[in-house]
Structure 1
């Protein structure tokens, strides 16, 4: 009678994924953010994996964790393996729904730049379905289901527009401003994503930087823009995002001083976009549909 010995248990895939992410990103919190779980879940997965292996993969220190020699030795192979698995999953998803394009973008870009262009994009390609996910940070396109990323980024490849910032306000408030020093008399709105906007712009006036009174802070830039339209105060406008508001007069740029940042609005993919595919069409269409920047004066380097 043949003997069938028990099959050794495989190492859990979720634990291996947690290890690879934590090792590659340098910490449990960063891995949790990428994988969409809690840091406690990452800790539990890695502890389970270390118990199964009978050896530590991370050394715990008061300053955080660092890879052991075993962890360092095995990380490259697991990173390559999960990249390959991610590519295979994305190829499978694309083959199953070839006319669906998934775009990951910043919430402000989704609401103020991308959304107004979607009707024309749907008209140009009615057979393509556009799916948009608003994220605070660009995803790892090798692992995520997204075809395209649209974020502000310093890489010039795929840049659609520069990121130029300057104060904006409602027309009624603009009529009460005679110069930048008048800013001190009104609330200065800000948002959590670009909390240093006012300081960056004020630094362009080296001789007499205006006083910037602190006003309400918003977690959503689009909400800060709407409150500025409503007359709540001044806001640092990002030209690519407020161009439509400036064009139709809902917002006014009361001062000539503008600051061009190193980053720009960038569209990219970590996977080749083959001509004739839906992602290639959408990327090409959005690049051509990007509105040229408005004329700028006194742009600082």
Structure 2
């Protein structure tokens, strides 16, 4: 068995089809089928078969799925540990929702990184719906964002920070100074950041609650860019309350105050329950909910990544 074969099989198990596994791994379906065929031949087991309801796995196929995850995770951890140990450093991989990564992560990472001189941090924006799978597959060490829709016994989830999503417009917007009804809001152009395309999240929930049609939604490369468009009077923006509060106080934006125009949610930190998971991940999960960390997250909006010491490697909108 090779790591490539195991990754192909693990993707098929997780996604439920060869086609989706090929798209996820960015290879052809023929390549996935070849890897599966090689595993079947070597192990002497069919592993799974196709049925009208989807894939049906043999007992051996289910056992391999479990072992494949363990083996691949061990390989990833080994590569990471050898690389960082050779430089005398530790590496902590953080996966975050786009809203948290853009506005809260800068302050948190800067504060946490300064606590350990031998720690490197890698931040990547991930779909919250894939948090549990990414943790289980050892692709990330900690996830921060919306809580899971369905709890996973292999993952420890703890609340980090309460936040509020508000809706704002420019002072020149036709709805400024009034309390719009849900129907009026549905007819507006909504200026949104990338979090709206995720499987779950507060902004997506707010839009669903209001019934805003997709045709009325404009998505920008960042939430800050969407708010800037709102300042120009081009529509309604959904934003983190603490990020737009200064502009509201200065009169650059007007915030609606009706109950249906805002939403309160909680960011959660998720780490593996496995004792072999990096200790720094559990430490960050605990630290993130402290008053000092929360203050840093609220003040950290817009902090330049070059200020982070030790190094923080950032992959945005992956």
TM-score normalized by the length of structure 1: 0.68
| Residue in structure 2 matching 1:192, options 191, 197, 200 | 197
Relative to structure 1, is the Cα distance of residues 171 and 51 closer, same or farther in structure 2, using a 3 angstrom cutoff?
A: farther
Other-structure match for 2:106:
115
Q: What SS is found at the alignment partner of 1:45?
A: helix
Relative to structure 1, is the Cα distance of residues 145 and 197 closer, same or farther in structure 2, using a 3 angstrom cutoff?
A: same
- What CA deviation, in whole Å up to 9, does each residue of 1:129-152 have, x standing for no partner? 332112223252243353321121
Q: What SS is found at the alignment partner of 2:256?
A: coil
Higher mean Cα deviation, 142-151 or 61-70?
61-70
Query: How far did 1:19 drift?
Result: 1.7
Other-structure match for 1:47:
37
Relative to structure 1, is the Cα distance of residues 119 and 251 closer, same or farther in structure 2, using a 3 angstrom cutoff?
A: farther
| Residue in structure 1 matching 2:147, options 153, 158, 162 | 153
Residue pairs, 1:1-301, within 5 angstroms: 11-28=1-18, 31-32=21-22, 36-38=25-27, 40=29, 41-52=31-42, 55-61=45-51, 64-72=54-62, 74-86=64-76, 88-89=78-79, 91-92=81-82, 95-96=85-86, 97-121=88-112, 128-136=119-127, 137-138=130-131, 140-154=134-148, 157-162=157-162, 164-173=164-173, 176-181=176-181, 182-183=184-185, 186-190=188-192, 191-193=196-198, 195=204, 197-200=206-209, 202=210, 214-218=215-219, 220=221, 222=223, 223-237=225-239, 239=240, 242-249=241-248, 251-257=253-259, 260=263, 264-270=266-272, 271-272=274-275, 278-279=280-281, 282-288=284-290, 289-291=293-295
Contact 1:188/1:216 (<8 A) preserved = yes
Q: What's the RMSD between the two structures over aligned residues? A: 4.1
If each structure's helix is expressed as a fraction of its own residues, which one has the higher value? Answer: 2
Q: Which structure has the larger Rg?
A: 1
Query: How far did 1:234 drift?
Result: 0.9
What CA distance in whole angstroms lies between the structure 2 residues aligned with 1:128 and 1:73?
Answer: 36
Query: How far did 1:54 drift?
Result: 5.9
What CA distance in whole angstroms lies between the structure 1 residues aligned with 2:43 and 2:157?
Answer: 43
Q: Which runs of 5+ in 2 are unaligned?
A: 299-318
What CA distance in whole angstroms lies between the structure 1 residues aligned with 2:85 and 2:73?
Answer: 18
Query: How far did 1:257 drift?
Result: 0.8
- What CA deviation, in whole Å up to 9, does each residue of 1:96-150 have, x standing for no partner? 4534332111233211221254444555556543321122232522433533211
Q: How many residues are matched? A: 270
Contact 2:47/2:61 (<8 A) preserved = yes
Relative to structure 1, is the Cα distance of residues 29 and 135 closer, same or farther in structure 2, using a 3 angstrom cutoff?
A: farther
Query: How far did 1:226 drift?
Result: 3.6
